[in-house]
Amino acid sequence: MTNISVVCISRNRESFAIRDLPYHNYTEGWKPFGHEKTRQRVSYLAERRNTAATEALSLFPETTDILMIDSYYLQKGEQVGKLISEYVALIAKTYSGGCILGASSWIYDKTRIWPRKRFYDGWTTPEGIGLRAEEVEKRGGRIRVKAVGGCYLYPRWVWEKIQYGVPEDLHGCEHNWLCEQSGLPVLLSLNEMLWREPMAYSLPKRIRMSLHLGRFKGR
């Protein structure tokens, strides 16, 4: 029997759209990091995720599988619910030894003259960078990747054996450490697309970014 518990780290208390799942929201120890790709930041995130998982498993000892989800996606109940169903079906029919399944994350990028929909989490999942949103929306499916992040499910034993850590060469973040060390198939679902808030700049800045005018500054 699959007993999924939901784990989220965030700055403030956040609710989760799917009310009937055990849910632990860890808010202690928040620090104002940005999105920098540094060892300090990844170590900080790994530590918070490990503490959150420890507390969740103490609160919900019957847990067999973990849904690790970022606060951006907590209210995407329909998409997350479908991802959970997809995961349960996969481990029941195809991956009896376990797998890791993540939703694909997307953003409407308005930082250039011509806005575009693009895959968001390219650092964690570089295999997604070349994906086209229009094709994914049309065809769905899944692809094999090395790591997923943002919203994904995995067996409890993976965390108990490996936990979150920092890749030595920083080719990715704490998610990469857990996924790559697990030895399990890691899959990116293209059936569940999670959209973030649009990234937008003013028109003058979009023009500068498109023309790369910033490279002339200081010359």
Task: Please give the span between the terminal C-alpha atoms of the chain, in angstroms, as a whole number.
Answer: 64
Which of these ranges, 111-115, 118-122, 154-158, has the smallest mean pLDDT?
Answer: 111-115
Q: Please give the C-alpha separations between residue 47 and each of 27, 161, 192, in angstroms, as whole numbers.
A: 12, 15, 28
DSSP state of 5: E
**b (16+ CB within 10 A) / e for 26-39:** beeeeeeeeeeeee
pLDDT bucket at 215, cuts 50 / 70 / 90: very low
pLDDT above 90 covers a percentage of the chain that reads: 84
With a cut of 90, say whether residue 21 has pLDDT above it: yes
User: How much is the pLDDT for 31?
Assistant: 94
Q: Please give the C-alpha separations between residue 205 and each of 111, 118, 161, 185, in angstroms, as whole numbers.
A: 8, 19, 47, 42
Average pLDDT over residues 67-94: 97
pLDDT bucket at 197, cuts 50 / 70 / 90: confident
CA distance 212 to 112: 10
Q: What is the pLDDT of residues 153-186, one digit of tens each?
A: 999 999 999 999 999 999 999 999 999 999 999 9
Average pLDDT over residues 65-72: 97
User: How much is the pLDDT for 112?
Assistant: 60
Contact 121, 128 (CB under 8 A): yes
Domain ranges of the chain: 4-216
With a cut of 60, say whether residue 145 has pLDDT above it: yes
Q: What is the pLDDT of residues 184-195, one digit of tens each?
A: 999 999 999 999
Q: What is the pLDDT of residues 22-66, one digit of tens each?
A: 999 999 999 999 889 999 999 999 999 999 999 999 999 999 999
Tokens of 216: 């002339």
Closest of 152, 153, 173, 155 to residue 164, by C-alpha: 173
With a cut of 90, say whether residue 213 has pLDDT above it: no
Domain 4-216, what architecture? Alpha-Beta Complex (3.90)
45/212: higher pLDDT: 45
150/34: higher pLDDT: 150
